[in-house]
Amino acid sequence: MQSEGTYMPEPFRIKMTEPIHLIDAEEREKALKAAGYNLFLMKAEHIFIDLLTDSGTGAMSHTQWAAMMSGDESYAGAQSYFRLKAAVEDIFGFKYFVPTHQGRAAESILSAVLVKENIYVPSNMHFDTTEANIRARGGRPTNLVNDDAFDINSLHPFKGDLNTQKLEKFIAETGADKIPFGMITVTNNSGGGQPVSMANIKAVSAIYRKNKIPFFIDAARYAENVFFIKTREAGYETTPTLEIAREMFSYADGMLMSAKKDAIVNIGGLFCMNDGALFERVKTELILREGFPTYGGLAGRDLDAIAVGLYEGLDEDYLRYRLHQTAYLANELGKAGVPILKPAGGHAVYVDCRAFLPHIPQQEYPGQALAVELYRVGGIRGCEIGTVMFAHPDPVTGEMVYPKLELLRLAIPRRTYTQSHLDYVVRILAQIYERNKELKGFEITYEPKFLRHFVCQFKPL
């Protein structure tokens, strides 16, 4: 199903439209310069097809919009909160939860409560904001994904799996007392949107539990991960997605979720846990930073949209189409000879920029070079996931540590673009690939201490 090139019709029809427009080449060049060649700093109106992120950029359903109209905006104890609570308990099954304004707010609160100087937090791969939140409090995020994840061509069905041998060794060497909690990210966004198998989640959970390390799932794209389990892992073919989700979370002590992905809303997050003492500390932090525990920095209507969206995100027609759309884009790019990370991820296709631009060294940001060219030629915005995002000085030696993968992510907003939009993206990327040797690298002219990719500025070499 997922590797076929034929396009499955969208399981929805469109009843509201939003115009998009391709500005001319000269205006695009001007816009690039004005943004210091950082696509995060561009005006959205200057973008034709926006594949920067799938986060908060999806289309809500008529049911979600209708639910928003019944949002209860009471400061405390709103009905919207209780509707969300019922959905969260039904799907995730944890004892306690708070809403947050987005995923990183949950990460910040968890880090504020549990991270100290020189502690370690293992995961398959942390997302950039998770990593930064841990680092910002002096902790050391540690990625222990299987080596397959770094093999662009490996067709392993669960390239997001955490290496359990590495984890056992890491805990033995570090000492469980230096690990306040462990994580796993589903799907593994930083490693190509690749799924994690149920068997792996179960095995990782057993290791964390044996060592009395609380286990939190970064569940941003858990529903896509659930559907990968259903279609790729033996024994789950006929299990409903809701049941697979429940099993997945039963192995964890809590979860953090950016609702902007698989709850298909424009803003929102969740933080769930089973530990009552932790919940008390989390509530205090939440009130300090986000809001009262029954709204967590969101409007009542946002809570209602999440409550409905959580179920829509698990709908099997939707998920089949969703993963098919990503596979379609990957397949068509593959046919055009464009090197991509295989297999297709859940939410995005990742172009392998080392293979695309073999003449540009990592120090000259090949992912950025391709991101800029894709905008210049087609008005398309992708996102560099490579040296700009992840290179950092080693905390001990001070030497720059470069990421193993140099990717350009083409993230697909949910229920937003159609096949013809994707065909256009393929056409433009294929054109650029034909003249790849003409592209040149970049130099960074300004960068802040954390999360530089959002605000740094570049100069073409």
Task: Give me the least distance between CB of 50 and ligand F0G, in Å please.
Answer: 11
Q: How far apart are CA 236 and CA 234, in angstroms?
A: 6
Q: How far apart are CA 89 and CA 241, in angstroms?
A: 15
Compute how many other C-beta atoms are within 10 angstroms of the C-beta atom of residue 284.
14
Q: Which residues pair with 459 in a beta bridge?
A: 443
Which residues form the catalytic set? 75, 127-128, 218, 220, 261, 453
Using CB under 6 A as the criterion, which residues of the chain lie in contact with ligand F0G when the complex forms? 53, 55, 102-104, 127, 129-130, 185, 189, 218, 220, 258, 260, 269
Which amino acid would we find at residue 437? Answer: K
Three-class secondary structure of residue 384 per DSSP? strand
- 87, 38, 107, 95: which is closest to 375 by C-alpha? 38
Question: Does residue 1 contact residue 231 with C-beta atoms inside 8 Å?
Answer: yes
Task: Give me the least distance between CB of 191 and ligand F0G, in Å please.
Answer: 10
Q: How far apart are CA 319 and CA 346, in angstroms?
A: 9
For ligand F0G, the closer of residues 83 and 104 by Cβ is 104
- 456, 458, 457, 448: which is closest to 132 by C-alpha? 448
For ligand F0G, the closer of residues 185 and 325 by Cβ is 185
**Residue closest to ligand F0G, measured at CB:** 103
Q: Which residues pair with 244 in a beta bridge?
A: none
Task: Give me the least distance between CB of 397 and ligand F0G, in Å please.
Answer: 28
For ligand F0G, the closer of residues 104 and 452 by Cβ is 104
Give the 3-state secondary structure of 224-289: HHHHHHHHHCCCCCCCCHHHHHHHHHHCCCEEEEECCCCCCCCCCEEEEECCHHHHHHHHHHHHHH
Apex CA 50: angle with CA 48 and CA 52, to 5°? 145
For ligand F0G, the closer of residues 220 and 308 by Cβ is 220
For ligand F0G, the closer of residues 113 and 176 by Cβ is 113
Question: Does residue 135 contact residue 107 with C-beta atoms inside 8 Å?
Answer: no
Question: Does residue 348 contact residue 411 with C-beta atoms inside 8 Å?
Answer: yes
Q: CB-based contacts of 17: which residues, under 8 Å, 6+ apart?
A: none
Q: Which residues pair with 385 in a beta bridge?
A: 407
For ligand F0G, the closer of residues 332 and 384 by Cβ is 384
Task: Give me the least distance between CB of 326 and ligand F0G, in Å please.
Answer: 14
Task: Give me the least distance between CB of 146 and ligand F0G, in Å please.
Answer: 17
Cα dihedral 369/373/375/376 (nearest 10): 130
For ligand F0G, the closer of residues 189 and 436 by Cβ is 189
For ligand F0G, the closer of residues 347 and 376 by Cβ is 347
Question: Does residue 373 contact residue 382 with C-beta atoms inside 8 Å?
Answer: no
Task: Give me the least distance between CB of 346 and ligand F0G, in Å please.
Answer: 11
